Amino acid sequence: MKESTSVIKKLEQAKQWVQEAGQFLRENLAEPLEITEKTRYDDLVTNYDKAVQKRIISKILQAYPKDFILAEEDEKKVEFSEQISQLWVLDPIDGTTNFIVQKDDFAIMLAYFENGVGKFGIILDVMNEKLYWSNDHAAFCNEKQLHENVAPLHQSLLAVNAYMYRTNTGGLLDLSHHTLGVRSCGSAGISYTKLLDGKIIGYFSHLQVWDYAAGMIISEKLGFVTKALDGENPHFNGREMVYTVPKRLLGLIQEKMQGSEN
Amino acid sequence: MKESTSVIKKLEQAKQWVQEAGQFLRENLAEPLEITEKTRYDDLVTNYDKAVQKRIISKILQAYPKDFILAEEDEKKVEFSEQISQLWVLDPIDGTTNFIVQKDDFAIMLAYFENGVGKFGIILDVMNEKLYWSNDHAAFCNEKQLHENVAPLHQSLLAVNAYMYRTNTGGLLDLSHHTLGVRSCGSAGISYTKLLDGKIIGYFSHLQVWDYAAGMIISEKLGFVTKALDGENPHFNGREMVYTVPKRLLGLIQEKMQGSEN
């Protein structure tokens, strides 16, 4: 299947917009933050989440005024739909708590869909200046093509949402006993970069579509699949427990999540 | 208190030995590993743990043939003791699983004690080429002096051992509810570097003396204190649950670990 010229052009533009936004964040990291609580004391947004969102949205709409945008910090969000012929999904700062507290381990994520089909994803590990992205046929980190690199489950690590892990939601704790252990870094975007780098074999968390859209699209190029906890495809609306694992280990992983013994 | 010339000289030599060992690991990262299970399937050692240990021990003994060395991969270990006037404590690769699986997030750690008193600590974040170390009066990352940087508990993150967290050992889960959350990276050394950078406010894990000796000594220079789970000083012998937190928050943290309500 050949990628259309217009999608290739969008991808190149989108990579540049994300890179520029990352540079803006790195240059302003020493400035004081305005921090606002959203739903609860540990659900935070800063003036920089909003500034990055504004910058990227304005670039998209300037170039493609008819496209739709689903962005984390929008008060009124469009709903993800297969009816929308051109839809951008944006997380301006993924891992906002890390951004505030650690000044590290946060990402900018942008994904692009046509009629519900993911065309490309972009994840920028801002502090390490690593841009992960996919086109129609492959995944890349900066200009280097990434390749499938799947170790056996028992020689691998998982990235997990701490709550799901400790409460064994979906059998995640059971599954973890069949691996070398779990890691938790507080950012979906950074977790997906570790998956793409082959550092972890699976990522399990409680996510909104802007948290997993880019990671899902890019990781598909390396043989990963993203599922909701019930084994179905994610529904892309509202917060949902999802996981991304190698397609060829999906059966084994689902078996271990059902608590079958060693 | 003035540092003796001999300790200053040892520190400078030790920094160089650790840096050289780090370079050796980075240069050989693409080579195949020989992996051996120690106590169980997820307690691993590689030929590189052994090679780094051998390199550093031979440097120490060449320069200081009468000094004692307590090293992780020694079959027969000396016991930590205040009776030993010159004792080096070495972890050749801390985060061996990360070293094997991720090729990232592992550290070389070296600490030096005189009659039970920590004189200096060294932690090398190998892949990021960041050397954390302390002398008699201050802590450094490479050549930059580090400074105390303690946020309020409820605006901070913890690094935790996943098992202790999920089982609420020592009230760690209770404590975590008074913070912005937990992170888990699979290496004591890397966790200590995050503590020294101000990215986390406390580190809780189940450790051997070579896992926390260097971190304890360096972090003291930034106002941190290292305690066993019972609130006493660690006993430096055998695996022990320990935590390192800011001294001026110790009372508050111990209170929250006892499960007092919000």
Read off the pLDDT of residues B54-110 as tens digits, 9 standing for 90 and up: 999 999 999 999 999 999 888 788 889 999 999 999 999 999 999 999 999 999 999
Q: How far is CA A230 from CA A131, A163, A165, A217, A240, in A?
A: 31, 18, 16, 20, 11
- Amino acid letter, A110: L
> Please, which pLDDT band fits residue A42 given cuts at 50, 70 and 90?
confident
Q: Is there a contact between B181 and A42 if contact means CB atoms under 8 Å apart?
A: yes
Residue of B nearest to A44 (CA): B180
Percent of the residues in chain B that have a pLDDT greater than 70, as a whole number: 98
Summarize the confidence of residues B16-26 as an average pLDDT. 98
The H or E element containing residue A144 is: strand A144-145
Residues of chain B found within 8 Å of residue A182, distances taken between Cβ atoms: 162, 184
> Please, which pLDDT band fits residue A145 given cuts at 50, 70 and 90?
very high
> Please, which pLDDT band fits residue A260 given cuts at 50, 70 and 90?
low
| Token pair in block for residue B12 | 């400078």
Mutation pick from B41, B180, B206 vs chain A, by most beta carbons of A within 10 Å, is B180
> Please, which pLDDT band fits residue A44 given cuts at 50, 70 and 90?
confident
DSSP β-ladder status, A68-71 and A87-94? parallel
Residues of chain A found within 8 Å of residue B41, distances taken between Cβ atoms: 154
Summarize the confidence of residues A176-196 as an average pLDDT. 98
Query: Interface of chain B against chain A, CB under 8 Å?
Result: 41-42, 97-98, 100-104, 151, 154-157, 162, 165-166, 173, 180-186, 194, 197, 199-200
Q: Is there a contact between A157 and B103 if contact means CB atoms under 8 Å apart?
A: no
Q: Is there a contact between B166 and A154 if contact means CB atoms under 8 Å apart?
A: no
CA torsion through residues A149, A154, A157, A162, sign: positive
Q: Looking at the predicted structure, is the pLDDT value of residue B4 above 90?
A: no
CB-closest option in A41, A181, A184 to B182: A184
Q: For residue A109, give the nearest of A184, A18, A23 by alpha carbon.
A: A18
pLDDT of B73 reads 84
Task: Look at phi and psi of residue A33 and say left if phi exceeds 0, alpha if psi is from -120 to 50, else beta.
Answer: beta
Q: Looking at the predicted structure, is the pLDDT value of residue A195 above 50?
A: yes
Question: How far B237 CA sits from the closest chain A CA (Å)?
Answer: 25
> Please, which pLDDT band fits residue B3 given cuts at 50, 70 and 90?
low
Q: Is there a contact between B102 and A199 if contact means CB atoms under 8 Å apart?
A: yes
Cross-strand partners of A213: none
pLDDT of A203 reads 98
pLDDT of A262 reads 43
Reported as a single tens digit per residue, the pLDDT across A51-75 is 999 999 999 999 999 999 999 988 7
Domain range summary for chain B, segments of one domain joined by +: 5-145, 153-257
Reported as a single tens digit per residue, the pLDDT across B162-191 is 999 999 999 999 999 999 999 999 999 999
Burial class (CB in 10 A: 0-12, 13-18, 19+), B47: middle
Secondary structure of B135-149 in HEC code, one letter for each residue? CCCCEEECCEECCCC
Q: Is A69 annotated as a binding residue?
A: no
pLDDT of B38 reads 86
Better-scored residue on pLDDT, A88 or B43: A88
> Please, which pLDDT band fits residue B262 given cuts at 50, 70 and 90?
very low
Q: Is A220 annotated as a binding residue?
A: no
pLDDT of B212 reads 98
Q: Is there a contact between B151 and A102 if contact means CB atoms under 8 Å apart?
A: no
Percent of the residues in chain B that have a pLDDT greater than 90, as a whole number: 86
Residue of A nearest to B156 (CA): A101
Considering the segment(s) B5-145 as one domain, its CATH architecture is: 2-Layer Sandwich (3.30)
Mutation pick from A180, A190, A206, A262 vs chain B, by most beta carbons of B within 10 Å, is A180
Residue of B nearest to A173 (CA): B166
| Token pair in block for residue B18 | 């650790």
Question: How far A204 CA sits from the closest chain B CA (Å)?
Answer: 14
Structural contact between residues B206 and B240, judged by C-beta atoms closer than 8 angstroms:
yes
CA atoms within 13 A of residue B149's CA, in its CB half-sphere = 13
Q: Is B104 annotated as a binding residue?
A: no
Summarize the confidence of residues B131-160 as an average pLDDT. 96
Question: How far A147 CA sits from the closest chain B CA (Å)?
Answer: 15
Summarize the confidence of residues A4-8 as an average pLDDT. 91
Residue of B nearest to A186 (CA): B183
Task: Pick the most confident of A76-90, A132-146, B35-49.
Answer: A132-146
Is the domain covering A153-257 a CATH 3.30.360.10 domain?
no
Average pLDDT, chain A: 95
Q: Is there a contact between A185 and B182 if contact means CB atoms under 8 Å apart?
A: no
Reported as a single tens digit per residue, the pLDDT across A206-227 is 999 999 999 999 999 999 999 9
Summarize the confidence of residues B126-139 as an average pLDDT. 97
pLDDT of B2 reads 57
Question: How far B160 CA sits from the closest chain A CA (Å)?
Answer: 10
Q: Looking at the predicted structure, is the pLDDT value of residue A229 above 80?
A: yes
Q: Is A94 annotated as a binding residue?
A: yes
Q: Looking at the predicted structure, is the pLDDT value of residue A118 above 50?
A: yes
DSSP β-ladder status, B182-183 and B144-145? unpaired
Three-state DSSP at A74 gives: coil
> Please, which pLDDT band fits residue B48 given cuts at 50, 70 and 90?
very high
pLDDT of A147 reads 97
Reported as a single tens digit per residue, the pLDDT across B187-206 is 999 999 999 999 999 999 99
Task: Centre a 10 Å sphere on the Cβ of residue B41 and count the other Cβ atoms it contains.
Answer: 10
Query: Interface of chain A against chain B, CB under 8 Å?
Result: 41-42, 97-98, 100-104, 151, 154-157, 162, 165-166, 173, 180-186, 194, 197, 199-200
Question: How far B2 CA sits from the closest chain A CA (Å)?
Answer: 34
CB-closest option in A101, A165, A199 to B162: A165
